[in-house]
Amino acid sequence: MATIIARRLKDGSRSYRATIRIMRGNAVLHQETRSFRAKSLAVQWAREREGTLKRHGTGEKAVAALPLADGISITSLIDRYVKEFSNIQRWGRTKEHHLRLLQRLVGEWDASTLTTDQLVEHVRQRRLSGTGPSTCNNDLIWIRTVLKTARAAWGLPVNLQAVEDASHACRHLKLTAKSRSRSRRPTEAEIQKLAAWFGRGDGRRQIPMHEIMAFAIVSARRMDEICRLRWDDIDRDAMTIVIRDMKDPEHTIGNDVAVKLTQEALAIINRQPRTGPLIFPYTSKSVSAAFTRACHMLGIKDLRFHDLRHEATCRLFEAGYQIHEVAHFTGHRSWATLKRYTNLKAADIKLRE
């Protein structure tokens, strides 16, 4: 029989530790302990784990069955998924971080005995802790992705249907939702403050953030794209540059796209010293850290580097470019994605004769 002990953490919240022991007389053949944020999750894990051990017998038989049961834990599946596919797909930091977070939250779960109520309760607890509906939806998306891979690529008997049913239930219960389109634009005052901050004469600064920020605003390029731009990919006659492996929902690797450059963007490129194949030879992680740190120091709230791409796209529309023309600057393939940058209102539409 499992024992469950409640513990109070430093932040005031409670944690529940479930312990399962297999005994022979006074000797402990096997012991497992897991901690959970909710008592219901601890009880559910203990019940399902005891059921797994019971199916394989008791004593030595149960201990012998442990490696098989642990082999399809969520943690082991995520580890294998990352090892085999991360280098091929070239994931971003967000996906990697979310997968590792899931290992901490639900890594001990057995993917073969996964249940719908187990997943719904996980999402409910996440919402109660303050996590947003779109982030909780991503929990289920990444669990589904890993389990689909485990079933299709490795032939493992995971319970994928539980994730499908839980996703439907969570949407119906308003526990999850798709992420909202972000429309944050930096104000002119914020841009000036950042430009002044980055333009200070500090010899310790190795990244020309004032140039990178200015380039993002006049080119509509993503941060990682800026750090991968190559001198050899510029066509000065056509005023274009090739974006290698441009982000795409279906195929990023090999998706090389030639995009249009504004006069201002090309002028910034021409000012950069040519010290190697890259125009901006810096890591996106360092650029992101510098931008975030500057916003914090200047008291600028809720501004991300990617918002500069939104600003650049909006400026192109405001300059009079049409939708199909703006798409050649930004690299968007669909109007559905691009239309949120127009900021067009009904009152702005001029009636035609």
pLDDT digits (tens, 9 = 90+) for 151-168: 998 888 889 999 999 999
Burial of residue 241 (CB within 10 Å: 0-12, 13-18, 19+) is buried
Whole-number Å distance between alpha carbons of 239 and 266: 8
Query: What angle in degrees, to the nearest 10, is found between the helix axes of 160-172 and 133-154?
Result: 160
pLDDT of residue 180: 73
Tell me which of 205 and 272 has the higher pLDDT. 272
Region 66-70: mean pLDDT is 46
Task: For residue 85, give both structure tokens.
Answer: 């596919």
**Confidence check: pLDDT of 318 > 60:** yes
Closest CA to 85 of 36, 152, 138: 152
Residues 6+ apart with CB under 8 A from 70: 76
**Confidence check: pLDDT of 292 > 60:** yes
**Confidence check: pLDDT of 63 > 60:** no
Q: What is the mean pLDDT of the chain?
A: 85
pLDDT of residue 307: 93
**Confidence check: pLDDT of 149 > 80:** yes
Name the pairing type of β-strands 234-235 and 257-260.
unpaired
Q: What are phi and psi of 29, to 5 degrees?
A: -80, -35
